[in-house]
Amino acid sequence: MNALLTASGKRAVPAELARSWLLVAATRPETFDEAAASHADVVVLDIEDAVDASHKPDARDDVVRWLSNGGEAWVRINDVTSEFWADDLESLRRVRGLKGVMLAKTEFGAQVTDTAQRLGGDVPVVALVESAVGIENATEIARARGAFRLAFGSGDFRRDTGMAADREAMAYPRARLVISSRCGNLPGPIDGPTVGTSHPILREQSATTVTMGMTGKLCLSADQTPVVNEVISPTRTDVEWAQEFLSDFDARGRIVRDGSDLPRLGRARKIMQLAEAFDVTVPAR
């Protein structure tokens, strides 16, 4: 199968499988083209936390202008309870290059549905869950009409709850988002970002993302995206195992031998789907 390419010539990864979600401050429109050409699977122009209230209308206008002139990206919009939400949706409605929206501070399923309806119903909504209430209602949110994926606003969640940033403290909210995504028949959720410039720490935290069953990660800078993409992708060892298992399964007439075969078959097929999407190949022997 030939790979689909974006307008900038890089391989297009479907948003339901996207690993790296790069947040780009909407106050810096001069960086939009560079972000679009980066290794990020998805670019998210941020008109919420990255923009002071006094500058939101101008930043929104810059985003709409860029999207209308050939740019393609997602947009993180302001939360439903803010004074900016309705104007965000009205401005973005029917904008050509809009790929989807990330709804900040989602706490209820109805907020996702209302957002999707105002956008016309066919624009995907990633629900960014950032509070104790949002985590408590995660399954409701995942099952809401219009929900595309869940994402973890880990920084705001920690501020809301007083919980620490370490892996053990964050295990519960991550697990809730993973389980709720499964209950809502959604792709795996998107983990919160790693703050700082240390790639070893980023690699370690991205491995935790994978361990918890999350399948994407928010990124704060373009140089984080190759690391996130690498860690979340199946390894060549995984792909080699999947190829060998599937070849053996076909060779024996696709006969299930014992109770371990079906789980392994599902895992092998998933690995091969991701390997194709992410262009992970194994050299021929």
d(CA 197, CA 201): 8
Q: What is the pLDDT of residue 3?
A: 46
The whole-number average pLDDT for the span 59-73 is 97
Nearest residue to 149 (alpha-carbon basis) of 182, 171, 127, 129: 127
Amino acid (one-letter) located at 110: A
d(CA 173, CA 79): 20
C-alpha separations of 121 from 61, 67, 93, 110 in Å: 22, 19, 10, 14
Q: What is the pLDDT of residue 258?
A: 79
pLDDT higher than 80, residue 1: no
pLDDT higher than 80, residue 69: yes
Decide if 88 contacts 48 (C-beta within 8 A).
Answer: no
pTM exceeding the 0.85 threshold for the entire prediction: yes
Q: What is the pLDDT of residue 4?
A: 57
Complete DSSP assignment for 34-55: HHHTSS-SEEEEE-STTS-GGG
d(CA 122, CA 103): 15
C-alpha separations of 108 from 112, 154, 163, 259 in Å: 7, 17, 22, 39
Amino acid (one-letter) located at 19: R
Decide if 185 contacts 3 (C-beta within 8 A).
Answer: no
Q: What is the pLDDT of residue 217?
A: 98
Query: Residue holding tokens 């371990």?
Result: 260
Quote the tokens at residue 4. 């689909």
The whole-number average pLDDT for the span 50-61 is 96
> What does the pLDDT look like over 240-275, one tens digit per residue?
888 888 888 888 887 888 778 788 888 888 888 888
- Measured in residues, the chain has a length of 285
- Domains of the chain with CATH codes: 20-232 (3.20.20.60), 236-278 (no CATH)
